[in-house]
Structure 1
Amino acid sequence: MRSLTPALLLAFSPLAPQNRSLAWKAAAVVLGTLALALSSYIAVPMVPVPVTMQTFAVTLIGALYGWRLGGLTIIAWLMEGALGLPVLSGGAAGLAHFIGPTGGYLFAFPIAGMVTGFLAERGWNGHRVVLAFLAMLAGNALCLLLGAAWLSAMIGIGAAITAGVLPFLVGAVLKSALATAALKGLARR
């Protein structure tokens, strides 16, 4: 197995966020929250949880920004939604979404982005496609697991798995593959 060299760890992302100024990082957070908001508008309505491109954006931001900046960006986006900006699924906003059926998924997003970023910083990035895909898949799986755990408190474990996990499995694999392809494409630059 190939060991992780310091150069590989430093070059985890084509954006090289670890080598950027504070102003660049602040702009990256703003752009990241915009990307997350846009991904929220790409939705297929389902009950009790809609299918969106949010997990695609969450995992990709984690992989591109790293665990710290990625987590901060996702938390900033969630704060925008909590404060009433229309950045959540389908333009939704407000605290009610954080205590309703989607709350567990929302709280899982920063964790998923941070895990994906942590793995990317350790070489699970666009330079190693299979590992990048596994990192993206891990982020998606965390969202489903934590979201379903929250949902199960409201509707029971069986119903939470049926309504909050199973319909999202194929999408999780597809979004992981798409995020990996985007990361690979960016890594070539």
Structure 2
Amino acid sequence: MSGYVSSAGFSPLKPLGRSFSWQVGAVVLGTMLLAASSYVEVPLKPVPVTMQTLAVALVGALYGWRLGAITITAWLAQGAMGLPVLAGGAAGAHHFVGPTAGYLFAFPVAGAVAGWLAERGWNGHRVVLAFLGQLISNLLCLVLGAAWLALLVGPDLAITSGVMPFLVGALLKAVTGAAILGVATRGTLRKRSG
């Protein structure tokens, strides 16, 4: 896999140039992380609060835009095929046409954006930029998800039930994601210098 990598490095995982078997393993581990994040849930209607957007943004930032999008798409495919990997252990293709469909389809895009930004230096080497990259990824999920929800319930209700309750969470998830990226990067740098 070739592509732009910033002079500040990209990811402590160094996914670019890894073997095919390593990348397959990364996809498997990534889908497991995404599935686990789906079980951390506060059940709101019509859209629950989960840790999925944190995991989506992290997978993108750690894996890069290509491998991140592939991993997130593989996870969604598992859910569509009936594996209990979506919010609260939900499964089935019907979730991809219901109120949460826009959020689900936004995940690969949001992860790819986080990865694309990370490849350009918005990563653990620059924590403020990492925070902004994580926040953009989270907000992109909300905007795209609410756009679909607006078709079902109208724009006003989509904003009040599909965006507003999640804004503080998006901010906190972005802080958490940037902190994780910073710690992972520092740990990798220590190993190299030690």
Q: Same fold (TM over 0.5)?
A: yes
**Pair 1:88–1:7, CA change in 2 (3 A):** closer
Q: Specify which of 24, 29, 32 is matched with residue 27 of structure 2.
A: 29
Q: CA shift at 1:19, angstroms?
A: 2.6
Tell me what 1:38 maps to: 36
2:54 touches 2:174 (CA, 8 Å); kept in 1? Answer: yes
Q: Look up the match of 1:20.
A: 18
Aligned to 1:104: 102
1:10-64, Cα deviation, whole Å (9 max, x unpaired): x200000003110000000000000000000000000000000000000000000
8 Å CA contact retained: 2:54, 2:173: yes
- Which amino acid letter does the alignment assign opposite residue 129 of structure 1? V
Q: Any conservation in 1 of the 2:79–2:90 contact (CA below 8 Å)?
A: yes
Per-residue CA deviations over 1:91-122 (Å, capped at 9, x if unaligned) read 00001111000000000000000000000000
Kindly indicate whether residue 49 of structure 2 is the aligned counterpart of residue 86 of structure 1: no
Query: Cα RMSD over matched residues?
Result: 1.1
TM-score (norm 2): 0.93
Cα drift, residue 161 of structure 1: 0.1
* Matching residue of 2:192: none
The answer on 1:140 being equivalent to 2:127 is no
Classify the secondary structure of the residue corresponding to 1:101.
coil
**1:157 counterpart (144, 155, 158):** 155
CA distance in 2, matches of 1:55, 1:148: 14
Q: Any stretches of 5+ residues in structure 2 without a counterpart?
A: 189-194
Query: What SS is found at the alignment partner of 2:99?
Result: coil
1:145–1:6 distance in 2 versus 1, CA, 3 Å: closer
Aligned residues: 184
- Equivalent residue, structure 2, for 1:57: 55
Gapped runs of 5+ residues in structure 1? none
C-alpha change, 1:116 and 1:7, in structure 2 (3 Å) is closer
Runs of 4+ displaced beyond 3 Å: none
Partner AA of 1:112 in structure 2: A
> Shift of the alpha carbon at 1:6?
5.7
Q: Of residues 110, 115, 118 in structure 2, which corresponds to 1:117? A: 115
